Amino acid sequence: MSGKLACVKTPLPGPKGAALLEKWHRFEVNTVGFQAPVVWDTAQGVVVKDVDGNTFLDWTSGVLVTNVGHCHPKLVKAVQEAVARLINNYECPTPARIEAAERLVAHLPPHMDKCFFLTTGSEATESVTRIMKRKTGCFEVIGFHGGFHGRTYAAAGVGGLTNPKKGYGPTMPGAIRVPFPYSYRSPVGDDPGKLIDFAMTMLEEGVRANSTGSLAGMMVEPYLGAAGFIFPPDGYLAELQKWCRAKGIVFAVDEVQSSYGRTGRMWGHQWEAVEPDLMAIGKGIGNGIPTAAIAGRTETLSGMGPGDMSSTVGGNPVSSAAVIAILEIMDEEKLSENALAVGKVIKDRLLAIQDKSRIVGDVRGRGLVMGVELVKDRKTKEPAADLTRKLIVRAAEKGLLIGSVGIFGNVIRVAPPLVINEAQAHESLDIFASALADVEKR
C-alpha cells in the first residue's frame, strides 16, 4: 500500500466517462467553463471518485462549496432524516427553519441579528440590491471592476466582469463600477498604502462622473473571487465602509464564497474591523444542498415587510437541516482554524514552487483560498490561459482536480474542502508540482 489517495488508472476520460460526456453534450446545453474531462461519481472528504474508478484529491470543493468536505456523514444523515420527514412547505414555519435561523444568527458577526433564507447566491446578492434600494429610496449601487455577484440582472449589472453581461443589452440602471486594488497588476505598484489611496481616488472619481445623486449602497466581495482570488490590501474594506458611512449609504459584503471559514475566519470580512450593514451568503451555507441567505441588522432590513421577500424553496426543511448540521460540523471540527493551519502549509509550498518556476507569476490568498496566477513570462506578466488549461488537464491525469478563475482565465484555484489535513495537502502539492513541471517542460 502506497498510502496515496489519488490513483488514476485510465486515460481521461475513461471509457465510461467518455460515453457519459458524449451523452451529456447531446442533451444539455454546454455552457460550462473549461475543466478536466472527469465524470464524478462519489466523493468523501477531499477525495473524489469518477465513474471509471479513478480517485482524485479535490482542490475545487465544487466551486468553494463543500467546506465541510464531500458527503460529510453528519450532513448526509441530517439531510436523509429531513427528506423522510418533510420536503416542502413554502413559507410555513417549521422547527427546522426556525432553528436554522437561530443558529445562523448566532454565527453572524455580533452586530447582525436577522437573516432570511433564499436558494442561490445570485438570489442573495440580487436581494441585497433590492434591500438597499428599499432602505434608502435611491437606486444607484456601486460595484467593482472584476466583481462577480451572479448572473441575474442586478447581480450581473453591479458585477464588473463582461461575460455575465455580454449580449444581453443594457444592464441594471444605476450600476456604477469602480476599480478594485489588484496588487499584482496595479498601475501604482503593490505598496498597500498607495493601492488603497489610488482605489479610493478612483471611487471618488467614478461616483463623481456617474452618480446622479441617488446612491443606495455599495456591494463588495472581501476578495474578488471569479476575477482571480484578488485580495485587497488590509485596511481597504475599512476605508470603503468609512466612505459609505460618510455618504449615508448601505455598505454590503458579498460573502457568497468567502465565508464559512474559507479564509480562516467565519466571514471573510472579519479580517478587518468593519461592520457591514448587509451580507449575501451562499455556497458553504449548504455545502451543495441549494441554500443561500441574506443577513444584516434589523434596522437595515426594516424596509422589508410581509410579502416583500420570498423564495419558493428557500428555508425548506431539508436545506434547514443542512444549515444546522453544517454549522455544528464547522464548530466541532474547528474548520476555520484548520483552514488557517493547512492553508499556511499549502501557501508556503506554493511560494517555494513559485521560486523555481518560470510561469508562476503570483501566489496569493488566505486560509484555504489561494490563487496561483500563471504567466508566459514573469517579467511581462502576460497571462497564460493556455498553460492554465494544460495544467488543469495534466493535474487531473495525475490525480488532482483543480479549476481556474481570473479576468484572463489564468489563475489556478486552490480551494480544497476545509477538512483537508497536512498529509493530503502534501500529496496534492506533490501532484501539483509534478504537473506544473510537465507543463513547463513542453
Ligand X SMILES: Cc1ncc(COP(=O)(O)O)c(C=O)c1O
List of residues contacting ligand X (CB under 6 A): 63, 120-122, 125, 148-150, 221, 225-226, 254, 256-257, 282
Q: Do 232 and 181 touch, CB atoms closer than 8 A?
A: yes
Closest CB 389 distance from ligand X, rounded Å:
20
**Nearer of residues 14 and 121 to ligand X, judged by Cβ:** 121
Q: How far apart are CA 327 and CA 19, in angstroms?
A: 39
DSSP β-bridge partners for residue 58: 401
Q: How far is CA 331 from CA 44, 110, 231, 341, 384, in A?
A: 19, 17, 26, 16, 40
Full DSSP string of 322-368 = HHHHHHHHHHHTTHHHHHHHHHHHHHHHHHHHHHH-SSEEEEEEETT
User: CA torsion sign, 368 to 72 to 123 to 275?
Assistant: negative
**Nearer of residues 221 and 427 to ligand X, judged by Cβ:** 221
Residue nearest ligand X, Cβ-based: 121
Q: Do 111 and 297 touch, CB atoms closer than 8 A?
A: yes
Closest CB 279 distance from ligand X, rounded Å:
11
Closest CB 194 distance from ligand X, rounded Å:
26
Q: Report the Cα–Cα distance between both ends of the chain, in Å, rounded.
A: 32
- Report DSSP state, residue 231: P
Torsion of CA 22, 23, 25, 29, to 10 degrees: 180
Closest CB 29 distance from ligand X, rounded Å:
17
**Nearer of residues 239 and 254 to ligand X, judged by Cβ:** 254
> Residue 250 carries which side chain, given as an amino acid letter?
V
Closest CB 408 distance from ligand X, rounded Å:
17
**Nearer of residues 158 and 420 to ligand X, judged by Cβ:** 158
Closest CB 406 distance from ligand X, rounded Å:
13
Element (H, E) at 31: none
**Nearer of residues 164 and 361 to ligand X, judged by Cβ:** 164
**Nearer of residues 47 and 293 to ligand X, judged by Cβ:** 293
**Nearer of residues 47 and 118 to ligand X, judged by Cβ:** 118
Closest CB 123 distance from ligand X, rounded Å:
7
> Residue 354 carries which side chain, given as an amino acid letter?
Q
